[in-house]
Amino acid sequence: MRILKFGGTSIGSVDSIRSVLEIVQKSHEYGENPVVVLSAMGGVTNLLTQLASDAAEGKNFTEGLQEMEARHFSVVKQLLAVKYQNPVFTRLKIYLNELEDLLQGIFNLRELSLQSKDLILSYGERCSAFLVSKIAEQHFPQALFVDAIQFIRTDSHFGSAHVNQPLSEQLIQAFMASNPGKLLFVTGFIAANEQGRITTLGRGGSDYTAAIIGAAMGAEAIEIWTDVDGMLTADPRIVRKAFSLPVLSYTEAMELSYFGAKVIYPPTMIPAFLKKIP
């Protein structure tokens, strides 16, 4: 089993989503169903953060909601056959209505807690993973949308929760055992505490989601797909002759991450390191 993680830029447009499905298809052709972990569409997490802040400050947030709806609905219209569109529109609209109700509550109270912010941010990943799973279902009947809150457990440190690794591994393994042969499209970044309240895993948390699932399942590899060709010797925006490093040890990758390399989120390396997963 391989874990394929795609960030926001990888699903930020119709063309990039097509590319994601081509990568999934190639992995599938090797005789395996990968687990696909998805971030929110590019820019959506920032948009949701701004909407939450606007609501808490008593500012209008409806325009931003309309923008989010338009982006997701546009993808549906372009990548889903007409006969499959209505149920997807309906589910996305349910998510967006829930989000609007949350923002209205924050607007009324003029208060934004970390717990409320986590819940608001979760709609980015839930909308994107659901949408991509339904597009994939046209080609892969075994495609299944999965909300990671079902099996990743954390404490209640909202905003950057700490994962209960042993419990999460048990829940992941049980979920996989009960869904054999499925091609899973999983929400990155989000989890739940033991009371079922939604938490987030902090910056780069979708990478962490991929690593947690990979470690639990003893994956063959965890692949982090981005718009950068691997780990480079320097920031290519500053050093023009920066080049990709062909091989890195776990320790080297962790050091680069902690000292500012943004390709991999530092905690991501720990589950992979402990299980020796490349």
pLDDT of residue 162: 95
**How far apart, in whole angstroms, are the C-alpha atoms of residue 212 and residue 270?**
9
pLDDT of 274 strictly over 90: no
**How far apart, in whole angstroms, are the C-alpha atoms of residue 68 and residue 55?**
16
pLDDT of 95 strictly over 60: yes
Mean pLDDT of the chain: 90
pLDDT of 228 strictly over 80: no
Residues 6 or more apart whose CB falls under 8 angstroms from that of 131 comprise 72, 75, 76, 88, 92
Report the pLDDT averaged over residues 57-80: 97
Q: Give tens-digit pLDDT for 260-270.
A: 555 566 667 77
- State percent of the chain over pLDDT 70: 85
pLDDT of 64 strictly over 80: yes
- State percent of the chain over pLDDT 90: 74
Q: What angle do CA 264, 271, 29 make, to 5 degrees?
A: 75
Report the pLDDT averaged over residues 6-25: 94
Tell me yes or no: is domain 2-228+263-275 CATH 3.40.1160.10. Answer: yes
pLDDT of residue 100: 98
pLDDT of 33 strictly over 90: no
Report the pLDDT averaged over residues 214-231: 81
The CA distances from residue 10 to 41, 42, 58, 128, 242, in Å, are 8, 8, 33, 11, 22
pLDDT of residue 156: 97
Q: Give tens-digit pLDDT for 116-175.
A: 999 999 999 999 999 999 999 999 999 999 999 999 999 999 999 999 999 999 999 999
**How far apart, in whole angstroms, are the C-alpha atoms of residue 151 and residue 83?**
32
pLDDT of 94 strictly over 80: yes
C-alpha 160 chain-centroid distance: 15
